[in-house]
Amino acid sequence: MSLPKFIIGMIFALAIVIGWSYFDGASLGTILLRAVVCAVIIQAGYFLLVFAMVGGTTPTSADKAREADRGTILNKVADGEELSARRSLH
């Protein structure tokens, strides 16, 4: 989930909690407390989700990443074209 989607979802969830608390007849302090607790729970859940996604991926060594980049570059080079650091004047 991207950050903008998360923020929009969090705002809607907080609005629902605030609306529910208001129509329940809660005091302003209780409404504020419920909103803060809800925001903390949502933020902790988002952090754990991102942490699990990052932890679930396998690390790629720098050599493998470099070789993959070279492969994509070599695939883009036309047949018969040489790769060199020198530039032709023609």
Cβ atoms of 41 and 9 closer than 8 Å: no
pLDDT tens digits, 7-63? 898 899 999 999 999 999 999 999 999 999 999 999 999 899 888 988 877 777 777
Cβ atoms of 21 and 31 closer than 8 Å: yes
Residue 4 pLDDT: 86
Residue 76 pLDDT: 59
- Distance, in Å, from the CA atom of 67 to the CA atom of 62, rounded to the nearest integer, reads 9
Inform me whether the pLDDT recorded for 90 exceeds 80: no
pTM of the full structure: 0.58
CA triplet 56, 72, 60: central angle to 5 degrees?
25
